[in-house]
Structure 1
Amino acid sequence: MTTTTRRMTLEEYLDYDDGTDTRYELVNGELAEVPSESDLNNLIAVYLLAEFLQLIPVRLLRRGTEVVVNGYRTTTRIPDLMVLTEDLAAALSGSKRSVVMPDMPPPALVVEIVSPGTTNEARDYRYKRSEYAARSIAEYWIVDPQQAQITVLTLVAGLYEEAVFKGNDRLISATLPNLDLTPAQVLQVGDSQ
């Protein structure tokens, strides 16, 4: 991941265009290149999207939408999948760029699919966990193909309570109470290519 050393404001970041199709996040005020997702991560995200579509309207689902989170300096994240609240969908309606700004309601749920490597694990399990909690995101899923598990974090009194699901455990989600899905189903999607 390439990172700049020049600090940017949120406004500078939102106006930034280097003339390429490179994706960036703003991490503590610094521009950080976001590498392409693996094919497996994309398959898992699309599979979850298809499952979620059976339970909630398409207008409440997003891929590629950024969320501004709290941090030492401004940070944005691009979750692999996001479930919006009705209020957030209304706030985003008509926006020039699909970014959940600090003055908007938080998403109901964000999903991150962990890429291999200790840097990626630290980002998803540690940094994003505290950033999403500070942003008051009610539920955060960490889908980890390497560990063959899905961690569902539920916000309680400002901190996440963690439940780890493996194999044929039925996922329990406050945001999607009627979800009938197991980690095995989600993580084996790559085997059916």
Structure 2
Amino acid sequence: MVQAKPRFSSFEEYLSYDDGTDKRYELLNGELIELPPESGENISILSFLHFQLVLLMGHRRVRWGLELEVRGEPKNRYPDLTVIREEHIQQLRPRNTIRLSMQPPLVVIEAVSPGLSNRERDYIDKRKQYQDRGIPEYWLIDPAQATVTVLELTDGIYRELGVFRGEDLIQSSVIQELNLTAQQLLQAGCA
């Protein structure tokens, strides 16, 4: 027996849905699109960065699996890592979702997966939605290009704070205490 896929007429309706699994979905034109798992290389890089950020900001401010409501399609995104504001800690207790009515997070971080569609999604689609959402900083960790790009929101538009390679120290306006090179971060995905 084939079970019909649920359709949702609103984001609120989607938020009340529970399929009894830990699967993550983006809501695209009222339909659920299951997100694939991250590559092992990206998980290693993100785990290393998560540890570094927790040391600087505390474990409650750096989130895996945070859901972010955005305008446009899809209606939600799951950044690989998110640095939240202090006020979000209490707001996210019932559900790990930052709604449009809430302040945006401080930083969203994506590790770019291989493939043209993944690159376009991270470099173009998510960039537009995160910019529209007013997120102060957006990082793109790109193992295939061996780069870490940090975009900073200036006058409502993302501008490159830097594209970091090799021994370049990654710079951030939000996480100023960070002392990490692009090479150190990208090599965390090796071995």
TM-score, with structure 1 as normaliser: 0.90
- 1:18/1:5 CA distance change after superposition, 3 Å: closer
* Residue number in structure 2 paired with 1:109: 107
CA shift for structure 1 position 40: 1.0
Contact 1:9 1:74 in 2 (8 A): no
Q: How many residues align?
A: 186
CA contact (8 A) 1:8 1:31 kept: no
CA contact under 8 A between 1:61 and 1:83: conserved in structure 2?
yes
Instruction: For residues 30-57 of structure 1, give each alpha carbon's deviation from its aligned partner in whole angstroms, at most 9, with x where no partner exists.
Output: 3211001111111111100111122112
Task: Decide whether aligned partners of structure 1 residues 7 and 13 sit closer, same or farther in structure 2, where only a CA change above 3 A counts.
Answer: closer
The percent identity for this pair of structures is 46
User: Is 1:23 aligned to residue 21 of structure 2?
Assistant: no
Tell me the distance in 2 between the aligned counterparts of 1:36 and 1:74.
18
- Does the 8 Å CA contact 1:140/1:152 hold for their aligned counterparts? yes
What is the aligned-residue RMSD (CA, Å)?
Answer: 1.7
- In the alignment, residue 88 of structure 1 is paired with which amino acid? H
Equivalent pair of 1:88/1:106 in contact (CA under 8 Å): no
Paired AA for residue 141 in structure 2: V
8 Å Cα contact 1:114/1:120 also seen in 2: yes
* Alignment of 1:144 onto 2:142: yes
Q: What is the CA-CA distance between 1:6 and the residue it aligns to? A: 4.4
| Pairing 1:62–2:27 present | no
Letter in 1 for 2:105: P
CA contact (8 A) 2:152 2:158 kept: yes
- Counterpart in the other structure of 2:78: 78
Q: Secondary structure in 1 aligned to 2:151?
A: strand
Alpha-carbon separation, structure 2, partners of 1:102 and 1:65: 14
Question: Is residue 54–residue 61 contact of structure 2 (8 Å, CA) maintained in 1?
Answer: no
Deviations 1:115-158 (A, max 9, x none): 10011000000000010011110000000001110110000010
Q: Pick which of 182-191 and 145-154 moved more.
A: 182-191
CA 1:107–1:53: 2 relative to 1, 3 Å = same
Cα displacement (A) at 1:10? 0.6
- Cα separation, 2, equivalents of 1:157 and 1:136: 10
Spell out, residue by residue over 1:137-189, the C-alpha distance to the aligned partner (whole angstroms, 9 max, x if none).
Answer: 00000000011101100000100011211111111101111111111111111
Q: Structure 1's 74 and 103: CA in aligned 2 closer, same or farther, altered over 3 A? A: farther
SS of structure 2 residue aligned to 1:59: coil
Q: Which secondary structure state, in structure 1, belongs to the residue aligned with residue 23 of structure 2? A: coil
1:29-178 pair list within 5 angstroms:
29-71=30-72, 73=73, 75-92=75-92, 94-95=93-94, 97-162=95-160, 163-178=162-177
Partner letter of residue 140 of structure 1? Y
Q: Is the 8 A contact 1:47 1:186 kept in 2?
A: yes
5+ residue gaps, structure 1, are none
**Moved beyond 6 Å, runs of 4+:** none
